[in-house]
């Protein structure tokens, strides 16, 4: 049974976010809505600006004294490919920093100014540089992302696999957008139940990111990719989300490809509810499950110098 807090926050998101998105007809207006949702970061976390592989971003690290946490996390923020940043997602990166991870969140390039595959290139560049950071290896190095960031985490891993580079030991995906064709049945069946989105918002976001790229391109819509060889995946999504079937179908495809998948579909909660962990107990449970899952990842080998499997633009 869902908590009263989950019901309340979903109601507030519907009232304060979905209503604003309903009147947002351009990418700029949608971006303004997304970036106006910033919540406070957890206490006890130090945020430090840095750049990895030429990609700006920030580290989130616990203020507690002692040895460096045993695991390193690359976190890719959501925002429909057009909005948000490491700053807007500090509630999530800060939570992971307090639970045994040293976290780097890159500010990858955003659409429409930088369409596909710019964000994937930035994620891969940050990943390669992360593995060269002092003290990162041989400990576990993992990746996580929400919404568009979940898409980018999958696309990055597919690109790394195809170029023969070292992959993350595991990945946690929160409500990932895996199908930019919008073919999942939940896009229609959950249109009224989704606390945040309406179909009219999703189309311009995909178009802004894709540019002239076919939405069925595997690195743009990982649902249509060969998923064989990916590391273990944890996927959490809300049962009422329009993007629910992006997660459910991805889990099915990945399992058929021999990938270990831990899928959990949560009742009532809104899109990327993990960001509301200060209020919603389901958010804390989801993040704790993800942390436990990611901490189980084994060390990865030191990488060799890879080529590039990304499409040339």
Nearest to 291 by CA among 47, 127, 91, 100: 100
> Is residue 51 annotated as part of the catalytic site, yes or no?
no
Task: Give first-to-last CA distance, the chain, whole Å.
Answer: 48
The one catalytic residue among 58, 61, 241, 282: 241
The one catalytic residue among 271, 277, 282, 286: 271
> Is residue 252 annotated as part of the catalytic site, yes or no?
no
The one catalytic residue among 147, 175, 186, 286: 147
> Is residue 121 annotated as part of the catalytic site, yes or no?
no
DSSP string, 224-277: GS--TTPPPEEEEEETT-TTHHHHHHHHHHHHHTT--EEEEEESSPPTTGGGGT
Pairing of strands 171-174, 233-238: parallel
Any idea which residues carry the catalytic annotation? 147, 241, 271
């Amino acid at each position: 049974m869902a908590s009263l807090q989950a019901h309340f926050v979903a109601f507030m998101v519907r009232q304060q976010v979905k209503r604003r998105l309903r009147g947002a007809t351009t990418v700029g207006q949608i971006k303004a809505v997304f970036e106006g949702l910033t919540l406070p970061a957890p206490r006890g976390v130090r945020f430090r600006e840095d750049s990895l592989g030429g990609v700006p971003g920030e580290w989130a690290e616990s203020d507690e004294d002692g040895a460096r946490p045993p695991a390193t996390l690359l976190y890719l923020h959501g925002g429909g490919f057009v909005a948000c940043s490491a700053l807007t997602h500090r509630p999530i990166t800060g939570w992971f920093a307090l639970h045994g991870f040293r976290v780097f969140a890159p500010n990858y390039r955003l659409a429409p100014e930088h369409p596909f595959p710019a964000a994937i290139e930035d994620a891969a560049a940050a990943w390669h540089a992360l593995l060269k950071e002092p003290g990162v290896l041989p400990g576990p190095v993992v990746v996580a992302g929400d919404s568009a960031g979940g898409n980018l985490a999958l696309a990055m891993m597919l690109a790394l696999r195809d170029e023969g580079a070292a992959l993350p030991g595991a990945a946690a995906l929160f409500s990932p957008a895996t199908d930019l064709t919008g073919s999942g049945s939940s896009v229609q069946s959950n249109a009224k139940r989704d606390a945040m989105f309406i179909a009219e918002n999703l189309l311009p976001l995909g178009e802004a990111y894709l540019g002239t790229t076919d939405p069925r391109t595997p690195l743009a819509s990982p649902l249509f990719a060969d998923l064989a060889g990916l590391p273990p995946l944890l996927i959490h999504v809300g049962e009422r989300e329009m993007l629910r079937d992006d997660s459910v179908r991805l889990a099915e495809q990945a399992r058929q490809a021999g990938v270990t998948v831990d899928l959990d579909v949560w009742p009532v909660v809104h899109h990327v509810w993990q960001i509301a962990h200060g209020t919603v107990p389901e958010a804390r449970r989801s993040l704790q499950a993800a942390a436990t899952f990611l901490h189980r990842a084994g060390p990865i080998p030191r990488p060799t110098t890879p080529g590039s499997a990304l499409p040339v633009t």
